[in-house]
Structure 1
């Protein structure tokens, strides 16, 4: 059996490029959606929970207190476009396009082209109820940053990937 098969750690795919965490502190491809938390451009205390569904490209964007985004006027708002751009930085354009089920021509493999392809075809607005679990996961991730550094194992983090290379 290989070494990784006997370990409780998972391989981490390195980001395509370093991300700017202040603008989009949380982005994930999960639950059939590209989803995450995007900082407000005008208020440092406000964040938006944005998502785009794979396949249908149904989109949602609302504040952390469930107020709808003012930029949703029949198409993708700037928060969703920023989320797509950061997902491309983290995962690469091919992986994001494949996850969202978008045919991305090789000569257009960038975040702007991907956002335009998602926006094409008048995607519907999705269910805003999807924001609560995303924001909850984001807050749970933030809680780990407040822990005192210790060398003892944290049982709830047994699934977390190790930072050292497993040979």
Structure 2
């Protein structure tokens, strides 16, 4: 836009959303993000519809954590990635693409095609320590906040939690 005109997204008060690399189903992993130096998200339990797991893998060290929404440790995350963490990695690759996930987690895949299996294999070449699970509460809280936005009717009215943003007009 060399003529000084702003595009539609630049005129709006919303940020651009990067489309998923491929469409994904939200029933197993309803929330996945690359944030705070971790791949983190919420994974549904395979056995209890009322239970979810908050799982994460740290960038660089591949330290991992997995616990229920009630902060009980996952029984499968003993010494290596449980099924919840593997599902999180798989869905992150669907959402962001294998290259972006590998770059964010600082995974170097030297041979073969880059996909969720090669990412996991490359991370397995190191022995990650069990991570501090203190981030689970903030990840789960962010997930719940995202769910609350889904219940809002579409509109252009300001959201109360966004009122702290500075305004461009003078206040009398």
Q: State how far apart, in whole Å, the 1-side matches of 2:85 and 2:5 are.
A: 40
What displacement does 1:7 show? 4.6
Counterpart for residue 125 of structure 1: 130
TM-score, normalised on structure 1? Answer: 0.86
Counterpart for residue 61 of structure 1: 66
Counterpart for residue 162 of structure 1: none
Counterpart for residue 157 of structure 2: 153
Q: Specify every segment of 5 or more residues in structure 2 that has no aligned partner in the other structure, as ranges.
A: 164-172
Counterpart for residue 139 of structure 1: 144
Alignment of 1:1-167 (within 5 A): 1=4, 3-4=6-7, 7-105=12-110, 107-147=112-152, 149-155=153-159, 156=161
Q: State how far apart, in whole Å, the 2-side matches of 1:105 and 1:9 are.
A: 39
Larger-gyration structure (1/2): 2
What displacement does 1:115 show? 1.6
Give the secondary structure class of the aligned counterpart of 1:70: coil
Aligned-residue Cα RMSD (Å) equals 1.9
Q: Mark the CA change 1:7 to 1:66 in structure 2 (over 3 Å): closer, same or farther.
A: same
Q: Mark the CA change 1:157 to 1:119 in structure 2 (over 3 Å): closer, same or farther.
A: farther
TM-score, normalised on structure 2? Answer: 0.84
What displacement does 1:77 show? 0.5
Q: State how far apart, in whole Å, the 2-side matches of 1:21 and 1:58 are.
A: 25
Q: Specify every segment of 5 or more residues in structure 1 that has no aligned partner in the other structure, as ranges.
A: 159-167
* Cα shift readout 1:19-49 (whole Å, capped 9, x = no counterpart): 1100000000000000000001111111000
Q: State how far apart, in whole Å, the 2-side matches of 1:35 and 1:2 are.
A: 38
What displacement does 1:55 show? 0.7
Asked if structure 2 preserves the Cα contact closer than 8 Å seen for 1:50 and 1:59, the reply is: yes
Moved more, 125-134 or 149-158: 149-158
Q: State how far apart, in whole Å, the 2-side matches of 1:82 and 1:70 are.
A: 15
